[in-house]
A and B are shown apart, each in its own frame.
Chain A
Amino acid sequence: MAFKSRFFANMKISRKLVAVFLATSLIAMGVNLFIYINLNMALEKINSVFSSNISLNELSDNLNQIHSGLTGYLETKGTDDLELYYSSTQTMEELMKDLNSTVTNNSVKLSERDIRNMLETYLKTADEAIQAKRGRNIDEYTAKYNECTKIRDYLNTYIYSVNNEQFKTNSNNYNALVNSLRYTEIMSLLIFAVASVMNVLLIVILTNTITRPLTRLSAKADEISQGSPENVEPLQVYSDDEVGKVTKAFNEMLASIKDYIARIRTQLITQSEMKEKNLLMETHLKDAQLKYLQSQINPHFLFNTLNAGAQLAMMEGADRTVEYIRNMADFFRYNVKKNSESVKLSEEIELVDSYIYILNVRFAGDILFEKEIDESLLGVMVPSMIIQPLVENSIKYGIKDVEPGEGKITLSVYREGDNCCIRVSDNGIGTDEDIIEKIMSNEKKPSETRGVGITNVMERLDLHYNNREVFEIKSKKNEGTQVTIKIPLEAGNV
């Protein structure tokens, strides 16, 4: 059965449909044929009901022919009559074979026996009459003829009576047959009805097996169209027909949709993370710039007025003043100009140079500034405004309490492996361990660092270099602080 259903399930839909209609048609045809054949049998039976009457009539006709032959022969000795007599006798002997010869308690059968015996007596007597005619014994053949006439009379009465009796029985049989036939008609109608209901149910079941996978498929499609394909389970494939193939394809499509959605989701997450990072960086830069501007107050105006001051000093022949004012103007210009993210390392160093110059003028050359620069690294692109805050920090917190002329700040740029290292070191009082820890763990608030703080530089470096550890602070009490930034030398950053 399982094999059969599998076999059926794997058939093509067109074949399935043909099979369904063929099966039901065959059932209907078989039932029809069976009933038709049996009904024919019944009709044949009905036709044969009156056959006994027919044979009795034949018997009677034949007897009368014999008798007329006998009469004719006895009257005129005609050969035609004799021939009729003999031929009829021969037929009669054949007909007599069908008659019952035994004694039974069935009245018709018993009458048949009587008829048969009387016919024998008749034929014997008739024969004797003919013999007597040939012997021209008038008395004898007359007596025999009379006896024959009597027996013929009895026979006709018997045949007539048996015929009647049989007709009655046959009519009863006929009626019984016709009545039974009515029952069989009802029966056949019942069978037809049952077979039809069965056929209808069979069609329902088989078409259901064909359409059920389609219904399930459309239900799945509906589910997907409602908008959550990732929660939709794939369909089970039951058959290898067209629907089975479509179901397989549907499952594959569902899988690829799910895969596609997953990929897009990851992409979106990455993109939004990137965006968030960029935004954060921008925010920090802006924050740095704002703080810078806040501290420096309108650098445009400042460096324009400074330029005007420089020109004035030049006209007055004050060269040092000119130099000082130019440095100040450069310092402020840098901030106006370099608002973009990355700058060359050389520009950062120039900014530090201007800053130190200004400070030295201000503090009368108290700050000793040394540079150890690997010239090959000057073109390295770095985030802007990362060195000046470190230098400012060293001046403000490192060497502020050192004796004038003793404070020294060293800026080193060198290569270390794949990194470009920028180190700002001082010989100041050093920084406490816990402060360094706070700075490194980003706990120290910007207000505590005063001005553009080291924290800002750190965060920007973190964002720029994806949290790589590029920032390092080393300090010893009364021996100074050393801050190192390790810029990774990647392709295109040289």
Chain B
Amino acid sequence: MVMKVSKNKVAVSILAGIVLVLFFATVAGLFFYREMIKDLGTAQEEDFTEYPRLYAYIAEDPDSQLSSRIYKEISEYAVENNCYVEMTGQNLSTSYSKADRMNIAISSKVDGIILEGDDSAETAELINKATANGIPVVTVLSDCQASARKSFVGLNNFSLGSEYGAELAAIGDLNKRYPLNALILLDRDDGNADDIIHAAIQQAVTGRLIRLNSAVVDTSTPFTSEESVMNILDGLETIPDVIICLNDRTTESAIQCIVEKNLVGKTTILGYYDSDTILKAIDRGSVYATFAIETKTVAKQCVNALNEYHDTGFVSDYFSSNYVLINRSNITEYQTEEKEDGI
């Protein structure tokens, strides 16, 4: 009997223990449940940082790799220097023209504009309008000299042209094939800048047996570039020994065309920019050499120029950027450096 009672007591105690555990489990579950409900939706709210200044970056072609890279560099440097740069017109449902993007930047009252300039009157007018609205404009890569822009950050096109000429001469010396036929692919939108380069190349190869021709590539829409290059090459009676490209898009289009037309080895390219495609092409031999702008320096100079203007009211008229020549001899070294920089 005693055994029975004690057994019963043990069973009841165990049950009571389980009930206690379950009770705590229920209470803990309810608290956890409440926390779950509270957390609903809060996870989606991102943290964001506020900045005192907003600059607009307006590229000639926002989709080009160079512009994307410059924008990336500018954004990073700007954030480090307590300001924010937006690529105006990006992520919109409509693709706006450069003029529209300028207008948007002006009407949205940004604190400064970094603009890939050109020599058109419309651009000059818009720069003036921005200046009139108290928005300083800094041009980058290509200038708009006729405007009230505060500063220009970019390459010296003439010295770039001279470098192209020197490389052209080197190809001639290497191939010992004279006369050397070269074709310069000019960008229809780049206008004056390309002309200066063209002139500098011409000047550099004067006195050598190098025949220099030029053709204008239509880069007005993202798809026309490659077609345009193909048309130009198709229209030629003889394939040039060297194709000189003055921007990233024409360089990549030209690479694509000579691969497609099976011209690797018969012609070579002097390109511009250092995209993966172009670097690979150097490795494979379809591109002899390419000129790359030091985007990091450019980005720094742009942000610094605007900040300096805001802080002091004055800024230098011109910041000169450097370019790098990449060919088979230094491509590995260059790629290693780029990786180290995290680009």
Which positions in A face B, CB cutoff 8 Å?
A: 27, 31, 34-35, 38-39, 41-42, 45, 49, 102-107, 109-110, 113-115, 117-118, 120-122, 150-151, 154, 157-158, 160-161, 164-165, 169, 172-173, 176-177, 180-181, 183-184, 187-188, 190-191, 194-195, 197-198, 201-202, 204-205, 208-209, 212, 216, 219
Within the complex, the shortest CB–CB distance from B280 to chain A, in Å, comes to 32
Cα(A249)–Cα(B26), bound, Å: 43
Q: Which of B8, B36, B41, B96 contacts A173 (CB 8 A)?
A: B41
The interface-forming segment of B99-107, B120-128, B185-193, B258-266 is: B99-107
- B36 pairs with A187, CB closer than 8 A: yes
- B107 pairs with A122, CB closer than 8 A: yes
Chain B residue nearest to A183 (CB atoms) is B36
Q: Which of A107, A198, A204 contacts B26 (CB 8 A)?
A: A198
Within the complex, the shortest CB–CB distance from B51 to chain A, in Å, comes to 4
Cα(A194)–Cα(B26), bound, Å: 6
Q: Which of B26, B46, B86 has most A Cβ within 10 Å?
A: B26
- A187 pairs with B29, CB closer than 8 A: yes
Residues from chain B with Cβ under 8 Å of A164 in the complex: 93
Interface of A is mostly: helix
- B37 pairs with A184, CB closer than 8 A: yes
Cα(A273)–Cα(B41), bound, Å: 99
Q: Does B178 contact A (CB under 8 A)?
A: no
Q: Which of A150, A177, A195 contacts B103 (CB 8 A)?
A: A150
The interface-forming segment of B10-18, B61-69, B226-234, B291-299 is: B10-18
- A103 pairs with B50, CB closer than 8 A: yes
Q: Decide yes or no: A105 and B16 within 8 Å by CB, A45-B40, A187-B33, A191-B33 being known contacts.
A: no
Chain A residue nearest to B11 (CB atoms) is A208
Q: Decide yes or no: A195 and B26 within 8 Å by CB, A169-B44, A181-B40, A201-B19 being known contacts.
A: yes
Within the complex, the shortest CB–CB distance from B58 to chain A, in Å, comes to 14
Which positions in B face A, CB cutoff 8 Å?
A: 1, 5, 8, 12, 15-16, 18-19, 22-23, 25-26, 29-30, 32-34, 36-37, 39-41, 43-44, 46, 48-54, 79, 83-84, 86, 91-94, 96, 100, 103-104, 106-109
Within the complex, the shortest CB–CB distance from A215 to chain B, in Å, comes to 9
Q: Which of B12, B37, B49, B52 contacts A205 (CB 8 A)?
A: B12
Interface of B is mostly: helix
Q: Decide yes or no: A104 and B50 within 8 Å by CB, A121-B107, A165-B91, A177-B41 being known contacts.
A: yes
Cα(A45)–Cα(B86), bound, Å: 32
Residues from chain A with Cβ under 8 Å of B18 in the complex: 201
- B12 pairs with A208, CB closer than 8 A: yes
Residues from chain B with Cβ under 8 Å of A49 in the complex: 41
Residues from chain A with Cβ under 8 Å of B41 in the complex: 45, 49, 173, 176-177
- B33 pairs with A151, CB closer than 8 A: no
Residues from chain A with Cβ under 8 Å of B39 in the complex: 180
- B25 pairs with A39, CB closer than 8 A: no
Residues from chain B with Cβ under 8 Å of A194 in the complex: 22, 25-26, 29
Residues from chain A with Cβ under 8 Å of B16 in the complex: 205
Residues from chain A with Cβ under 8 Å of B30 in the complex: 31, 34-35, 191
Can you offer 21 A-B residue contacts whose CB atoms are under 8 A? A27-B26, A31-B30, A34-B30, A38-B33, A41-B37, A103-B51, A106-B48, A109-B48, A113-B54, A114-B104, A115-B108, A154-B96, A154-B103, A154-B107, A157-B93, A157-B96, A172-B44, A176-B43, A181-B40, A184-B36, A194-B25
Within the complex, the shortest CB–CB distance from A446 to chain B, in Å, comes to 59
Residues from chain A with Cβ under 8 Å of B12 in the complex: 205, 208-209
Q: Decide yes or no: A198 and B19 within 8 Å by CB, A114-B108, A158-B92, A173-B41 being known contacts.
A: yes
Within the complex, the shortest CB–CB distance from A116 to chain B, in Å, comes to 8
- A35 pairs with B33, CB closer than 8 A: yes
Within the complex, the shortest CB–CB distance from A464 to chain B, in Å, comes to 53
* 10 interchain residue pairs of minimum CB distance: A106-B48, A198-B22, A121-B107, A114-B108, A103-B54, A117-B109, A191-B29, A38-B37, A104-B48, A117-B108
